[in-house]
Amino acid sequence: MAMAALTREGRRFAPMISPRPITALRSSPLAPSLEDEGPIGVRYISTQVVRNRMKSVKNIQKITKAMKMVAASKLRAIQTKAENSRGLWQPFTALLGDLPSADVKKNVVVTISSDKGLCGGINSTSVKISKGLHKLNSGPEKETKYVILGEKAKAQLVRDSKKDIELIITELQKNPLNYTQVSVLADEILKNVEYDALRIVFNKFHSVVSFVPTVSTVLSPEIVEREAESGGKLGDLDSYEVEGGETKGEILQNLAEFQFSCVMFNAVLENACSEQGARMSAMDSSSRNAGDMLDRLTLTYNRTRQASITTELIEIISGASALEG
């Protein structure tokens, strides 16, 4: 008898709980699936579902905070090396110049990128500039090839420029970067490619939140000699006094190889600094977003719990009223 009365009272209160529209459920990012929601007419989702989502967001936030701290530690270690390496290539720029507008037939674009992601758009920027250089220096009598450093540039350039890739080198930062390692790498590149101009694309580090895409140009000894004979910025080479029995061509060959290794060393370090700085910024933004999402989920959880308590109280009062009646 009491159960029949409770059923009748439940039917009386059912119209007071208006069902939530299905479209609203689907448009809300915090809305559960139809399996989690239960019968139509219930205006709250399961508290267990919200708790699971809150736990997932907290775990993600812990990971992003830890990655930010690791990136900050690596940045401090690399930044000092990058600042010291700038003194290596600057004398070469003063002596041999940096001529991005030099018109040559054989161009090699050296694209420096990272092996890992989660560092913003620094790799995409380098790839876009490399593609632009390739298009700019292409022609009926010109040849442009790629030398790729890093997995991220490789993944993007292999898709549409596979036939133009001359050499791919990855896992460059597996060990701490030093000049010996980079000079061996530069020697490997010079042995495997024929070039008139090497155009090195990298991200120059300015601060944690700022990096500038940069292109450095290293000319072959023949092009340097041609530019020196035609005057201009390289016309002062003949004013230097040369000691020893080496010819001018041999000296220019040695200078070009040493210049390339020094520029490469600085470029790799600058790009590594930019990578860690960009990763710090990306992980900081991710941590803040996770915190905002956690606040919204906490509010949803409290509302859900309150709605559940209110519904239970209504059921108890309805049952008591039915028994009294």
Task: Calculate the average pLDDT of the chain.
Answer: 82
Provide the terminal-to-terminal Cα distance of the chain, rounded to the nearest Å: 11
For residue 27, pLDDT beyond 70: no
What number is the average pLDDT over the span 284-303? 94
Structure-token pair, residue 189: 């590149």
pLDDT greater at residue 232 or residue 191: 191
Q: Which residues are CB-neighbours of 23 under 8 A, at least 6 positions away?
A: none
Burial degree of 19 (CB within 10 A; 0-12, 13-18, 19+): exposed
For residue 232, pLDDT beyond 80: no
Angle value at C-alpha 320, between 318 and 321, nearest 5 degrees: 65
Query: With the C-alpha atoms ordered 61, 67, 70, 75, is the resulting torsion angle positive or negative?
Result: negative
User: Rounded CA gap, 287 and 291, in Å?
Assistant: 6
What number is the average pLDDT over the span 159-182? 89
Residue 220, helix vs strand vs coil: coil
Structure-token pair, residue 173: 């930062």
201 falls in which pLDDT band (50, 70, 90)? very high
CB 213 within 8 A of CB 125: yes
Cα–chain center distance at 237: 41
For residue 181, pLDDT beyond 80: yes
For residue 5, pLDDT beyond 80: no
What number is the average pLDDT over the span 45-63? 90
Q: What is the pLDDT of residue 233?
A: 58
CB 261 within 8 A of CB 187: yes
Q: What is the pLDDT of residue 235?
A: 52
**β-sheet with 143-149: strand ranges across:** 165-169, 143-149, 106-112, 197-207, 210-219
231 falls in which pLDDT band (50, 70, 90)? low
**What pLDDT, in 10s, does the model give residues 146-166?**
999 999 999 999 998 889 999
**What pLDDT, in 10s, does the model give residues 55-86?**
999 999 999 999 999 999 999 989 989 988 88
Q: What is the pLDDT of residue 132?
A: 93
Structure-token pair, residue 171: 């896992």
Query: With the C-alpha atoms ordered 149, 153, 154, 160, is the resulting torsion angle positive or negative?
Result: negative
Percentage with pLDDT > 90 across the chain: 48
Percentage with pLDDT > 70 across the chain: 81
**What pLDDT, in 10s, does the model give residues 256-285?**
889 899 999 999 999 999 999 999 999 999
pTM: 0.76
User: Rounded CA gap, 94 and 73, in Å?
Assistant: 34
User: Rounded CA gap, 201 and 217, in Å?
Assistant: 9
User: Rounded CA gap, 141 and 5, in Å?
Assistant: 94
